Amino acid sequence: MKDIEIYCRNTHTSHTYPMGTSLLEISNDLNIKLQNQVCGAIVNHQVKELSFCVVKPKHIEFIDFSHPDGMRMYIRSLIFVLYAAVKEVFPHVAFKVQNGISNGYFCELQGLEREISESDIFSIKQEMNALIEADIPFVKKGIITSHAVDLLAKQGLEDKAQLFEQQGRMYSYLYFLNDLGDYFYGNLLPSTGYISNYGLVPYFDGLLLQVPRRKHFKKLHKVVYNDKLFEIFQEQKDWAEILNVSTIGSLNDFALQNRSGDIIKISEALHEKKIAEIANQISARGNGTKVVLVAGPSASGKTTFSKRLGVQLAVNGMRPYQVSLDDYFVDREHTPKDENGEYDFEALEAIDIEFFNHQLIELFEGKEVRLPRFDFHSGKRMQNGKTLKLEKDDILIVEGIHGMNPGLLTDVAEQNTFKIFISALTQISVDEHTHISTADNRLLRRMIRDSRYRGYRAADTIKRWPSVRKGEEKNIFPYQENADIMFNSATIYELAVLKKYAEPILKLVLENQPEYMESTRLLEFLSYFKPISDVEIPPTSLLREFLGGSSFAY
């Protein structure tokens, strides 16, 4: 048998193995020791399961649960085990993963027709632990697509069956846990025995599946009841039901029937209605509200939302003025640095808090102030020549990532503010067991905007994204529940529209670039969507901030 050469990044050594040797065999032979148990590998910048057999020369890096893709493997496998346990304990109940929240996954048992009890959770966990103890392999099988569709439908997984059918492939892959079939659009662990830490607790009217901390695997995240965020997720679920679109498959049906225009019109109308309701709440408070703070993570659509809110406030007889918190950055040499010695532009200390509050107080006192403008090229704060003086019915709309942070407004009374947190909380799922990450939605938005308006390649945006996410987790999300109200900037149809713009720039990421792994994951994800044209998207849509064609000036 022919030998092939592999280079192992973990050991920085080259080795030869017979063609067809599995990654698991190579890992065992090299005695790979990582922080946690080896659960997969990156092969030529593509994620592979340990069952993958090498038939050509490869660069291999073994990964554990501390790697983002290793953790994805773990979560998918854990969800499969939870599904199998629910199926055993409640054969006639539909198990659905709805969304990510509280650093875990909110799940529903549809058809239970009563509240979930502690006894129910105990029974499910017992079954899960039995499956884990048995160390049952996850077996991936290629079967005729029509047979896969029938099998999924018989298990009650109609959404998965619909999506498989729409792909039009002759053969499809399913994972099996004993005789139970499923698919998770990504790699799984070798077996159930690799799962060693999880939690399952009641959460609102469902379950919260707790997953380990990526860098401290033996610890679970603390359960946090994000009431306002959960309310928005429930609102998004209601909107999806209004449109009869809750999964990629049901959205694809609208595209295949040339009815995507209906989805666009209703989605945009729902956004406009929600923004008008928020404006009415602000107006109802009277002249006491002097400043509206709009905050949210990257690519959430803060700027367009602020402008649309301004229009609705104007309809209510108020005169809004837009202010960007970015113009209050300290000069570059005073910007704080992170643990790597890089400028930390997302730290609260990057804002001149004292100057910002001083100008607000002067405005509230009826004084005229000269507004600043931050020059990102020189790293200096300038005067932009514009002056502002607030009259009786005037109101400030301040947009910036720190709007919910209690440390921002040190000199302004709480009753003078109205706080709005905005994020792109994806409104559809892939199927019953696979939610769509809101971070992926925002990454695609940002990638397109960076490419169209900032001259960045997709690889540049992907490379920067982990740092952006780290800043959000530290400086934005901990304060989101301080909002008076939350707004979901995502639309049900948008990922099918983003597909046309994202695919060409993702395909430009080369195989020898580290970002290739993420680009292929996103391309695989987008492949499940049938494209929807952006022709009917109005020029005031939040999505226009990323696609172009907006009637607002930025």
Q: pLDDT tens digits, the chain, 554 residues: what are they?
A: 688 999 999 999 999 999 999 999 999 999 999 999 999 999 999 999 999 999 999 999 999 999 999 999 999 999 999 999 999 999 999 999 999 999 999 999 999 989 999 999 999 999 999 999 999 999 999 999 999 999 999 999 999 999 999 998 999 999 999 999 999 989 999 999 999 999 999 999 999 999 999 889 999 988 999 999 999 888 888 878 777 899 999 999 999 999 999 999 999 999 999 999 999 999 998 778 999 999 999 999 999 999 999 999 999 999 999 999 999 999 999 999 888 788 888 899 999 999 999 999 999 999 999 999 998 888 888 887 789 999 888 999 999 999 999 999 999 888 899 999 999 998 899 999 999 999 999 999 999 999 999 899 999 999 999 989 998 999 999 999 999 999 999 999 999 999 999 999 999 999 999 999 999 999 999 999 999 999 999 999 999 999 999 999 88
Q: Which of 64, 79, 94 is the last residue of a domain?
A: 64
Q: Is residue 261 part of a domain?
A: yes
Based on the domain organization, do 295 and 400 belong to the same domain?
yes
Tally of structural domains, the chain? 3
Instruction: Give me the pLDDT at residue 388, please.
Output: 93
Tell me, letter by letter, the H, E, C secondary structure of 354-378. HHHHHHHHHHHCCCCEEEEEEECCC
Q: Which domain holds residue 444?
A: 227-547
Based on the domain organization, do 144 and 254 belong to the same domain?
no
Q: Is residue 552 part of a domain?
A: no
Q: Is residue 181 part of a domain?
A: yes
Q: Is residue 219 part of a domain?
A: no
Q: Is 477 left (phi over 0), alpha (psi -120 to 50) or beta?
A: alpha
Q: Is 155 left (phi over 0), alpha (psi -120 to 50) or beta?
A: alpha
Instruction: Give me the pLDDT at residue 240, please.
Output: 80
Based on the domain organization, do 365 and 421 belong to the same domain?
yes
Q: Which of 64, 89, 104 is the last residue of a domain?
A: 64
Q: Which of 34, 64, 94 is the last residue of a domain?
A: 64
Please state, in angstroms and as integers, the Cα–Cα distance from residue 214 to each residue in 35, 146, 338, 438, 462, following that order.
11, 38, 20, 18, 20
Based on the domain organization, do 439 and 473 belong to the same domain?
yes
Based on the domain organization, do 145 and 183 belong to the same domain?
yes
Please state, in angstroms and as integers, the Cα–Cα distance from residue 49 to each residue in 37, 189, 372, 487, following that order.
14, 7, 53, 39
Q: Is residue 350 part of a domain?
A: yes
Based on the domain organization, do 403 and 514 belong to the same domain?
yes
Where residue 237 sits, what CATH number does that domain have? 3.40.50.300
Q: Is residue 217 part of a domain?
A: no
Q: Is residue 112 part of a domain?
A: yes
Based on the domain organization, do 523 and 452 belong to the same domain?
yes
Based on the domain organization, do 381 and 498 belong to the same domain?
yes
What is the CB neighbour count within 10 angstroms for residue 260? 23
Based on the domain organization, do 397 and 428 belong to the same domain?
yes
What does pTM read for this prediction?
Answer: 0.92
Where residue 7 sits, what CATH number does that domain have? 3.10.20.30
Q: Which residues contact 105 (CB under 8 A, 6 or more apart)?
A: 75, 79, 97, 98, 99, 208, 209, 211, 435
Based on the domain organization, do 293 and 419 belong to the same domain?
yes
Based on the domain organization, do 92 and 190 belong to the same domain?
yes
Where residue 80 sits, what CATH number does that domain have? 3.30.980.10
> Cα–Cα distance between 275 and 290 in angstroms, integer?
18
Please state, in angstroms and as integers, the Cα–Cα distance from residue 451 to each residue in 403, 448, 457, 462, 527, following that order.
27, 5, 6, 12, 20
Q: Is residue 150 part of a domain?
A: yes
Based on the domain organization, do 14 and 88 belong to the same domain?
no
> Cα–Cα distance between 299 and 532 in angstroms, integer?
21
